Amino acid sequence: MVDRNRPARYGVGERAALKATGQPVEILEVRRGEFIPDFVYKIRVLAEKPARPYNLSVPEHDLSDLRP
């Protein structure tokens, strides 16, 4: 069960990583999910050149802390 009163794990402007690929991302927007009981983050994937950065919306469980 999800605690609906807990704060979001990440805030706007913070950095995290996609769990599946480890790619670094920047958090652009945080909101509550409509169909899932968790936070949804609009993120910018910080791709390395020659790839270009792109935006996605992902649930909180698809993000992990950025490792230095």
Predicted confidence (pLDDT) at residue 1 exceeds the cutoff of 60: no
**Residue among 30, 23, 32 nearest 54 (CA):** 23
Task: Tell which wins on pLDDT, 47 or 19.
Answer: 19
pLDDT tens readout for residues 35-53: 777 899 999 999 888 888 8
Question: Residue 65 has what pLDDT?
Answer: 93
Predicted confidence (pLDDT) at residue 62 exceeds the cutoff of 60: yes
Residue 60 CA from chain centroid, whole number: 6
**Residue among 20, 32, 27, 53 nearest 42 (CA):** 27
Task: Tell which wins on pLDDT, 11 or 66.
Answer: 11
Using a cut of 0.85, tell me whether the model's pTM lies above it. Answer: no
φ and ψ of 10, to 5 deg: -125, 150
